[in-house]
Amino acid sequence: MKKIQVGLIGFGTVGSGLAQTLYEQKERLQRKVGTEIVLTQVADIMTDSLPEQFAGVKLTKDAGDIFSNPDIDIVVELIGGMEPARTFMLEAIKNGKHVVTANKALLSVHGKEIFEAAVANNVEVGFEASVGGGIPVIKSLKEGLVANRIESIMGIMNGTANYILTRMTDEGVPFDEVLKDAQEQGFAEADPTYDVEGIDTAHKLAILMTIAYGKHVHLDDINTEGISNITPVDIEFAKEFGCRIKLLAISRNHDTHVEARVHPTMVPNSHMLANINGAYNAIHFTGDTVGNVLLYGLGAGMMPTGSAVAADVVDIGRNILCNSINRVPALSYLPQHIGKPTITPMSELSGPYYFRITALDKPGVLSTISGIFSKYNISIKSVIQKSRHELDPVAIVIHSHVANEDSVQKCIAEIDALDVCTENTVKIRILTDNK
């Protein structure tokens, strides 16, 4: 029987994880697929030799050697970034190669172009590893939940941010200190911007929304806020409200429009997402038929991500052997039924809020602030004021009832313009149910 031959571009952390997975699981995969899956060629400009167990694998510094190799069935792109990854994937597709990638940034920006090229050339695109590392979230959404109208997507999708917030919550350590430690331990990149500012999470949410709703969601469609301004003070107040702060991706389906946002959120301790800690990820779906589904596991790492890439290679290999290419559409919906999304404006969203206002401790300040909240129809549920010496800045913490985002922004702008306010107001949304 025909062997399934794989060409790999990029022998870094994930690439070597895939190679090791294919090597260690060779016999098991052969029993499951019915033929051998062979790593035939590797392209990497930084690698001069491969480990000895890959002695039979060709090594090149030119990715074009893989595209032009007639024996290769599947090209795996694991170099990351926009270019040359985009060019490599399109070139592979043009040459009739199936492609597999873990590149969430690329798919959240150029996914429409890549998926349309794959359809035009009758090849498959596998991207399980682009969301959730080793968690089979893509397959679950596009196949396991195929009979559902997805009502909502919520999740902790970045292990670095979750690790930082967990340590800040459990140990009271400031953000900068935890980040430095995470970088030293390898949990965070030297440049952590994508992780801590929510961009990596937004990449993943764009991909999940595209599959869930049959709309090409772009990274720019997602309102994104990070965690770099979260302080131990906010975390302690969250505890007083019975919450933990998490960086959440949130999308809710309103039929004619869908929410698309990433931001720090106070999650009640009773909610399952409040108890996802450390470097773990969790993605929560609500379907109209199935109800609530939670997928949990390691969202990154050499072997978990390598496992997810290998799963795509196996899926495509099985389809090649059965002559059933594109039996399952890459984005679940048939290509002709995928359209443009209508994104809910942030100004139209409503929910309860946490506000931390830093002001001088003078008579009448609280009354003035309360009057501004009333002016914008923001109802106050509770107030905590940590008093110290007169004229010292104090924290005035307000927990609101459901309020409109546009009104909240106007209210904060007016409060921050007061002479007695010494810092910008901190605003954190509080999670309610999925309705």
11 is in an annotated binding site: yes
- Tell me the three state secondary structure of residue 353: strand
Tokens encoding 189: 């990149």
Tokens encoding 395: 């924290």
- Quick check: pTM over 0.85? yes
Q: 3-state DSSP helix/strand/coil percent for the chain, to nearest 5? A: 40, 25, 35
189 is in an annotated binding site: yes
Mean pLDDT across the chain:
94
Average pLDDT of the segment spanning 40-62:
95
CA gap 78, 87 in Å, rounded? 13
Based on the residue annotation, tell me whether 204 is a catalytic residue of this protein. Answer: yes
pLDDT at 435: 44
Average pLDDT of the segment spanning 75-85:
96
Structure confidence at residue 226 as a pLDDT band (50, 70, 90): very high
In degrees and rounded to multiples of 5, residue 312 shows phi and psi of -65, -40
What are 385's strand-pairing partners?
396
Q: What is the pLDDT of residues 83-122, one digit of tens each?
A: 999 999 999 999 999 999 999 999 999 999 999 999 999 9
pLDDT at 203: 98
Contact 272, 250 (CB under 8 A): no
Of the candidates 97, 204, 215, 246, the residue annotated as catalytic is 204
Q: What is the pLDDT of residues 360-412, one digit of tens each?
A: 988 899 999 999 999 999 999 999 987 655 557 899 999 999 999 999 999 99
Least confident range of 17-21, 180-184, 332-336 = 180-184
Residue 357 is classified by DSSP as E
In degrees and rounded to multiples of 5, residue 59 shows phi and psi of -115, 130
13 is in an annotated binding site: yes
CA gap 80, 9 in Å, rounded? 10
Domain parsing of the chain, residue ranges: 4-134+302-337, 147-298, 347-430
CATH T-level topology, domain 147-298: Dihydrodipicolinate Reductase; domain 2 (3.30.360)
Average pLDDT of the segment spanning 266-294:
96
68 is in an annotated binding site: no
CA gap 188, 353 in Å, rounded? 29
9 is in an annotated binding site: yes
10 is in an annotated binding site: yes
E strand residue ranges, 190-349: 223-224, 243-252, 261-268, 280-287, 291-298
CA gap 14, 20 in Å, rounded? 10
Contact 203, 108 (CB under 8 A): yes
What are 355's strand-pairing partners?
398, 427
Contact 14, 305 (CB under 8 A): yes
pLDDT at 434: 47
The pairing of beta strand 58-60 with beta strand 125-126:
unpaired
Q: How many other C-beta atoms can be found within 10 angstroms of the C-beta atom of residue 95? A: 17
Q: What is the pLDDT of residues 344-360, one digit of tens each?
A: 999 999 999 999 999 99
**For the structural domain made of 4-134+302-337, what CATH number should be given?**
3.40.50.720
Q: Is the peptide bond before 84 cis (omega within 30 degrees of 0)?
A: yes
pLDDT at 296: 96
Structure confidence at residue 185 as a pLDDT band (50, 70, 90): confident
Q: Does domain 347-430 have CATH number 3.30.70.260?
A: yes
